[in-house]
């Protein structure tokens, strides 16, 4: 049922910005009211699609005036239900997908200004055409958009060298909850004019404004790269290898850790995959080194020399360096298939967590053992971005359990158990996926009173009516006050 206020907002947008700016057909809306993992199911009577920052600002101002909440949405690839509207249909979706222009791209300045709806892969290609690179990538690159990447401070597999979105954003343009426009696009390398609103908007998940565009930093194009697959005994050896490589060169761009069990699942469930190494190993690392200067020492030589030394010293058991682009891609395909293979093996409670890098090897092993002990029959594994201190920690249902019933019954308890371990290790319960609606209650349970009070105060100060992405990241009471 659409409320009067919602109808007024819909009529306002159609009248001012035309039919293209409004979608009310339920069949067209349906794909955008569920997250891509099919965990969160929302409802929205309309999708509003501004074509410009001015249109977005007018829509937010009107929404504020009418008291209609809006849910900003890009590619709808949130891992935490961050872009799914509430189930009660109280909010409209504000889609940024029509704002998909790359406003400028300067190879000289190493900067691109991209609107919120630009798809990551499109940005990648535009940068490559200009002889540059935008050095952040992730599985959903064909759908994820700039606005969502900024709003979730997205990570991915190149964070080790280039940082998360926060490190790659030079400026932000956003519509604030009162409909005013924050123009922070001017790419100033130094700017100390008070609280950094750009930084505040990065990772804010659309709860205190709608990101409409960003200035993004580009880096030189890749000249040469090399990809290695390594077998080792434990995560501590992997971290030792990483530090050796980083000490020798700043070319290490990815360092992913993969348990032997997870590799086995990929080989079992994903067609056309084969193990890079002949033997079996308890742990594996996937390493990519990249140079931008054709005259620099070849990354292949670096990996060969250092890994050979590591084999000699016993740190590494076995290794292979990709001999072709096809082989390099095959190695990466294994890494990118991990989630799908795990899913094929049954439902797992998933956690995207971080602890200080130095503590991660021990944490991975000890937390997995603790979870399996506390939940007998489960299988706990961690894989991912070892060099960033960030792994995806999965606890899979016991083989003899009805997997769906087990998940429904145990998932909240398992998550609390794992998150408690993370907090005890000084870590974060959301490393790169954000809070969204999935982790809202765990954040409230585990964050320090100081942090929670500050989050609520900021949300209430900037969005007192609670119209921006309600129910995500930090909850306001229905009266708009801190609960």
Q: Find the helix or strand (DSSP H, E) in which 341 lies.
A: helix 338-344
**Does residue 245 bind its own copies (CB under 8 A)?**
no
The full DSSP string for 253-281 is EEEEEEEHHHHHHHHHHSTT---SSSS--
**Does residue 155 bind its own copies (CB under 8 A)?**
yes
The full DSSP string for 424-437 is HTT-BS-SSS--TT
Listed ranges 12-20, 323-331, 402-410, 430-438: which one lies at the site for its own copies (CB under 8 A): 430-438
- The residue among 220 and 398 lying less far from its own copies, judged by its C-beta, is 220
Q: Residue 213 Cβ, how far from its own copies at the closest point, in Å?
A: 14
**Does residue 191 bind its own copies (CB under 8 A)?**
yes
**Does residue 166 bind its own copies (CB under 8 A)?**
yes
CA-based Rg of the chain, rounded to a whole angstrom? 23
Gap between the Cα atoms of 426 and 256, Å rounded: 22
Residues from 453 through 472 that contact its own copies (CB under 8 A): 453-455, 457-462
Nearest-10 Cα torsion for 292, 295, 301, 302: -60
Is residue 403 within 8 A of residue 397, CB to CB? The reply is: yes
- The residue among 278 and 461 lying less far from its own copies, judged by its C-beta, is 461
Choose which of 37, 101, 224, 243 interacts with its own copies (CB under 8 A).
Answer: 243
Q: Residue 92 Cβ, how far from its own copies at the closest point, in Å?
A: 23
**Does residue 19 bind its own copies (CB under 8 A)?**
no
Q: Residue 237 Cβ, how far from its own copies at the closest point, in Å?
A: 15
**Does residue 430 bind its own copies (CB under 8 A)?**
yes
Choose which of 389, 466, 470, 471 interacts with its own copies (CB under 8 A).
Answer: 389
The CA distances from residue 449 to 195, 225, 271, 456, in Å, are 22, 46, 49, 11
- The residue among 7 and 246 lying less far from its own copies, judged by its C-beta, is 246
Owner of token pair 């293209």: 20
**Does residue 299 bind its own copies (CB under 8 A)?**
no
**Does residue 358 bind its own copies (CB under 8 A)?**
yes
**Does residue 159 bind its own copies (CB under 8 A)?**
yes
- The residue among 193 and 274 lying less far from its own copies, judged by its C-beta, is 193
**Does residue 427 bind its own copies (CB under 8 A)?**
yes
Q: Residue 42 Cβ, how far from its own copies at the closest point, in Å?
A: 21
Q: Residue 409 Cβ, how far from its own copies at the closest point, in Å?
A: 27
Give the closest residue to 469 by CA, choosing from 140, 63, 4: 63
Gap between the Cα atoms of 351 and 439, Å rounded: 10
Structure tokens belonging to residue 454: 């500050």
With CB under 8 A as the rule, give the number of residues binding its own copies: 73
**Does residue 479 bind its own copies (CB under 8 A)?**
no
Q: Residue 180 Cβ, how far from its own copies at the closest point, in Å?
A: 4
Residues from 204 through 223 that contact its own copies (CB under 8 A): 204-205, 208
- The residue among 299 and 347 lying less far from its own copies, judged by its C-beta, is 299
Give the closest residue to 222 by CA, choosing from 324, 292, 303, 126: 292
**Does residue 357 bind its own copies (CB under 8 A)?**
yes
**Does residue 233 bind its own copies (CB under 8 A)?**
no
The CA distances from residue 176 to 125, 231, 431, in Å, are 30, 50, 26
Q: Residue 235 Cβ, how far from its own copies at the closest point, in Å?
A: 16
- The residue among 180 and 280 lying less far from its own copies, judged by its C-beta, is 180
78: left (phi over 0), alpha (psi -120 to 50) or beta: beta
Structure tokens belonging to residue 274: 């084969």
**Does residue 483 bind its own copies (CB under 8 A)?**
no
Q: Residue 432 Cβ, how far from its own copies at the closest point, in Å?
A: 5
The CA distances from residue 90 to 21, 74, 424, 451, in Å, are 19, 19, 38, 29
Gap between the Cα atoms of 288 and 402, Å rounded: 40
Q: How far apart are the first and last CA of the chain?
A: 28
Owner of token pair 């790169």: 432
Listed ranges 267-275, 339-347, 392-400, 441-449: which one lies at the site for its own copies (CB under 8 A): 441-449
Q: Find the helix or strand (DSSP H, E) in which 174 lies.
A: strand 169-175
- The residue among 427 and 466 lying less far from its own copies, judged by its C-beta, is 427
Choose which of 304, 327, 428, 465 interacts with its own copies (CB under 8 A).
Answer: 428
Is residue 219 within 8 A of residue 132, CB to CB? The reply is: yes
Listed ranges 128-136, 257-265, 381-389, 407-415: which one lies at the site for its own copies (CB under 8 A): 381-389
Q: Residue 163 Cβ, how far from its own copies at the closest point, in Å?
A: 8
Choose which of 77, 84, 354, 415 interacts with its own copies (CB under 8 A).
Answer: 354
- The residue among 27 and 189 lying less far from its own copies, judged by its C-beta, is 189
**Does residue 203 bind its own copies (CB under 8 A)?**
yes
Is residue 351 within 8 A of residue 393, CB to CB? The reply is: yes
Listed ranges 122-130, 259-267, 322-330, 349-357: which one lies at the site for its own copies (CB under 8 A): 349-357
- φ and ψ at residue 308, rounded to 5 degrees: -60, -40
Is residue 434 within 8 A of residue 205, CB to CB? The reply is: yes
Query: What is the 8-class DSSP label of residue 36?
Result: T
Is residue 281 within 8 A of residue 233, CB to CB? The reply is: yes
């Amino acid at each position: 049922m659409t409320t009067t206020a919602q109808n007024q907002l819909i009529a306002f947008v159609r009248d001012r910005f035309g039919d293209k700016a409004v979608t009310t057909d339920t069949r067209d809306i349906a794909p955008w009211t569920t997250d891509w993992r099919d965990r969160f199911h929302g409802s929205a009577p309309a999708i509003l699609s501004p074509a410009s920052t001015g249109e977005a600002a007018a829509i937010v101002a009107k929404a504020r005036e009418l008291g209609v909440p809006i849910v900003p949405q890009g590619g709808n690839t949130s891992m935490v239900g961050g872009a799914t509207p509430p189930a009660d249909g109280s909010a409209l979706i504000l889609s940024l997908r029509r704002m998909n222009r790359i406003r400028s791209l300067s190879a000289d300045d190493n900067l691109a200004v991209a609107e919120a709806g630009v798809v990551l892969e499109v940005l990648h290609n535009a940068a490559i055409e200009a002889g540059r690179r935008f050095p952040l990538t992730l599985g959903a690159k064909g759908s994820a958009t700039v606005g969502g990447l900024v709003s979730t401070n997205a990570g991915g597999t190149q964070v080790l060298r280039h940082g998360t979105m926060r490190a790659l954003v030079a400026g932000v343009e956003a519509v604030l909850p009162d409909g005013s426009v924050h123009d922070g696009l001017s790419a100033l390398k130094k700017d100390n004019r008070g609280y950094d609103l750009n930084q505040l908007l990065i990772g804010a998940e659309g709860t205190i404004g709608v990101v409409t565009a960003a200035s993004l930093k580009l880096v030189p194009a890749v000249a040469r790269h090399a990809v290695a697959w390594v077998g080792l005994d434990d995560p501590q050896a992997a971290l030792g290898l990483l530090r050796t490589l980083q000490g020798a060169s700043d070319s290490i761009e990815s360092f992913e850790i993969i348990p032997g069990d997870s590799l086995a699942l990929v080989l079992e469930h994903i067609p056309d995959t084969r193990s890079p190494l002949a033997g079996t190993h308890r742990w594996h690392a996937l390493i990519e080194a990249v140079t931008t200067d054709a005259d620099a020492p070849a990354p292949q030589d670096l990996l060969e020399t250092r890994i050979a030394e590591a084999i000699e010293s016993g740190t590494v058991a076995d290794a292979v360096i990709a001999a072709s682009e096809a082989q390099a891609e095959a190695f990466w395909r294994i890494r990118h298939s991990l989630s799908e293979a795990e899913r094929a093996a049954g439902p797992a409670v998933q956690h995207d967590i971080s602890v200080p890098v130095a503590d991660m090897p021990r944490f991975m092993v000890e937390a997995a053992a603790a979870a399996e002990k506390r939940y007998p029959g489960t299988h706990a594994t961690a894989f991912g971005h070892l060099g960033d201190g960030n792994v995806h920690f999965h606890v899979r249902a016991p083989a003899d359990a009805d997997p769906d019933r087990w998940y429904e019954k145990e998932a909240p308890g398992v998550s609390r158990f794992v998150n408690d371990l993370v907090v005890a290790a000084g870590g974060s319960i959301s490393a790169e996926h954000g809070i969204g609606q999935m982790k809202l209650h765990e954040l409230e349970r585990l964050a320090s009173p100081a942090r929670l009070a500050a989050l609520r105060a900021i949300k209430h100060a900037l969005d007192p009516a609670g119209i921006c992405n309600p129910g995500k990241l930090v909850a306001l009471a229905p009266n708009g006050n801190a609960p």
